[in-house]
């Protein structure tokens, strides 16, 4: 037994004395593809609607609320799923967000929002996290689909065109400043800027 | 003889009435049979012109000249007031809710919108682009006065 372990240790320590360079290079290459592919597949799986709504916290609260809104139910059949708005598309930002999401695993294990009441009580805090994130990245996830340069103000309503051509155009405001609660219900908004 | 005549007339009256009633119901349901599902009318477009409409009488709650789909008005928040409240009208340039909304029922002014006036849609409604189902015979008070005294 000990002999066997000693042998494997020798192979692992200096593999090039036992295997050819080509074998090691190819092996490394193939293993690299497999591990990287696997990693990305799992990462992408955590971006799917099935994964997000796999927990009752998401399925019974925010997912139900989403279904009434224009981002889920509309004439043209384009739909924004959870990750389209809540997970950055760029790789580094995505990994950073996924690491933050480990807190959500913690919350799931300890039932932080395991009932509707708990969720309602925490709604403001959770919403504020998302507002802060979108404010900091200039509403990047909105802009992944809604491009300011492509907006035709003449096709917008008067009020919309007025706001978009001034505050948004100058960069004073970003999407989330006005468009809060477009995909989920709002928390108690007392004291939030831009609300009564 | 007399009794029989009265009964006959009564039956005739009820029959005529029920035929009329059936006609009325038919206009609302269309030609569809009772046990069949009619095709629903097309959902009308909400008028989104952003232009103030005339009020038909001074006390009429103004109609909403824009879309309000998914506006949240509940215990937690009121989307309408995020533009129409006193504090927000400078930014939004929307008309402020009238001062009566800030009064309690004894006429005292409150700091914020009175709870009894909080649910906007109880009085204020959108308008859609459709043909009315029944004819509207409403007459403006000025027209009414003109008809009453034609001089």
Give the pLDDT score at B16. Answer: 54
SS3 A26: helix
CATH number of B44-131: 1.10.1130.10
Q: Which domain holds residue A172?
A: 147-177
Q: Return the C-alpha torsion angle A106, A108, A111, A117, nearest 10.
A: 120
Residues A137-190 pLDDT 10s: 999 999 999 999 999 999 998 889 999 999 999 999 999 999 999 999 999 998
Please indicate, yes or no, whether residues A112 and A165 belong to a single structural domain of this protein: no
Distances (CA, A) of A185 to A40, A99, A122, A140, B80: 32, 26, 13, 21, 14
Find chain B residues with C-beta within 8 A of A121's C-beta.
Answer: none
In chain B, what are the domain boundaries? 1-34, 44-131
Find chain B residues with C-beta within 8 A of A187's C-beta.
Answer: 76-77
Give the pLDDT score at A11. Answer: 86
Give the pLDDT score at B38. Answer: 81
| pLDDT range class, residue B118, cuts 50, 70, 90 | very high
Task: Confirm or reject contact between A187 and chain B (CB < 8 A).
Answer: yes
Give the pLDDT score at B35. Answer: 85
Alpha-carbon distance of B38 to A97, in angstroms, equals 50
Find chain B residues with C-beta within 8 A of A159's C-beta.
Answer: 50, 66
Task: Confirm or reject contact between A191 and chain B (CB < 8 A).
Answer: no
pLDDT at B24 exceeding the cut of 60: no
Give the pLDDT score at A77. Answer: 93
Task: Identify whether the C-beta of residue A177 lies closer than 8 Å to the C-beta of residue A142.
Answer: no
The token pair that represents B62 in the structure block: 């103004």
Find chain A residues with C-beta within 8 A of B91's C-beta.
Answer: 194
Contact B82 A189 (CB under 8 A): yes
Residue A90 domain-assigned (yes or no): yes
- pLDDT tens, per residue, chain A with 196 residues: 889 999 889 888 888 888 889 999 999 999 999 999 999 999 999 999 999 999 999 999 999 999 999 999 999 999 999 999 999 988 898 999 999 989 999 999 999 999 999 999 999 999 999 999 999 999 999 999 999 999 999 999 888 999 999 999 999 999 999 999 999 999 999 889 888 7
Task: Confirm or reject contact between A195 and chain B (CB < 8 A).
Answer: yes
Please indicate, yes or no, whether residues A80 and A139 belong to a single structural domain of this protein: yes
Please indicate, yes or no, whether residues A120 and A173 belong to a single structural domain of this protein: no
Give the pLDDT score at B116. Answer: 93
- Whole-structure pTM value: 0.78
Residues B120-130 pLDDT 10s: 999 999 999 98
The secondary structure of chain B, three-state, reads CHHHHHHHHHHHHHHHHHHHHHHHHHHHHCCCCCCCCCCCCCCCCECCCCCCCCCCCCCCCCCECCCCCCCCECCCCECCHHHHCCCCHHHHCCCCCCHHHHECCCCCECCCCCHHHCCHHHCCCECECCCCCCCCCCCCHHHHHHHHCCC
Find chain A residues with C-beta within 8 A of B76's C-beta.
Answer: 185-189
Name the nearest CA neighbour of B91 among B100, B82, B99, B79: B82
pLDDT at B8 exceeding the cut of 80: no
Residue A58 domain-assigned (yes or no): yes
Q: Which residue of B has its CA nearest to A67?
A: B70
| pLDDT range class, residue B40, cuts 50, 70, 90 | confident
Share of chain A above pLDDT 90, in %: 76
**Mean pLDDT for the stretch of residues B101-118:** 94
Please indicate, yes or no, whether residues A102 and A161 belong to a single structural domain of this protein: no
Contact A194 B72 (CB under 8 A): no
Min Cα separation A71/chain B (Å): 12
Q: Give chain A's domain count.
A: 2
Task: Confirm or reject contact between A6 and chain B (CB < 8 A).
Answer: no
Q: Is the ipTM of this complex over 0.85?
A: no
Taking all residues of chain B, what is their mean pLDDT, rounded to a whole number? Answer: 84
């Amino acid at each position: 037994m000990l002999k066997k372990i000693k042998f494997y240790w020798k192979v692992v320590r200096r593999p090039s004395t036992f295997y050819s360079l080509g074998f090691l290079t190819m092996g490394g290459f193939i293993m690299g593809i497999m591990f990287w592919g696997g990693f990305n597949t799992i990462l992408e799986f955590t971006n799917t609607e099935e994964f997000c709504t796999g927990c009752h916290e998401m399925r019974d609260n925010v997912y139900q609320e989403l279904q009434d809104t224009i981002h889920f139910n509309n004439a043209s059949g384009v739909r924004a799923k959870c990750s389209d708005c809540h997970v950055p598309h760029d790789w580094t930002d995505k990994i950073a967000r996924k690491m933050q999401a480990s807190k959500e695993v913690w919350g799931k294990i300890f039932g932080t929002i395991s009932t509707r009441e708990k969720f309602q009580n925490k709604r403001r805090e959770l919403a504020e996290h998302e507002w802060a994130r979108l404010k900091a990245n200039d509403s990047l996830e909105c802009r992944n689909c809604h491009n300011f340069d492509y907006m035709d103000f003449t096709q917008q309503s008067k009020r919309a065109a007025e706001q978009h051509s001034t505050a948004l155009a100058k960069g004073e405001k970003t999407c989330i400043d006005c468009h809060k609660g477009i995909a989920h219900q709002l928390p108690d908004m007392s004291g939030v800027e831009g609300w009564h | 003889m007399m009794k029989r005549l009265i009964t006959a007339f009564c039956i005739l009256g009820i029959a005529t009435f029920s035929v009329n009633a059936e006609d009325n119901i038919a206009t609302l349901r269309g030609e569809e049979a009772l046990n069949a599902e009619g095709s629903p009318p097309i959902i009308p477009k909400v008028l989104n012109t952003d232009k103030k409409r005339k009020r038909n009488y001074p006390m009429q709650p103004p109609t909403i000249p824009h879309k309000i789909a998914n506006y949240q008005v509940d215990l937690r928040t009121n989307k309408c007031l995020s533009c129409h409240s006193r504090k927000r009208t400078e930014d939004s340039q929307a008309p402020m809710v009238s001062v009566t909304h800030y009064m309690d029922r004894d006429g005292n002014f409150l700091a914020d919108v009175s709870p009894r006036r909080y649910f906007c849609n109880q009085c204020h409604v959108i308008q859609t682009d459709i043909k009315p189902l029944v004819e509207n015979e409403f007459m403006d008070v000025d027209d009414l006065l003109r008809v009453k005294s034609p001089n």
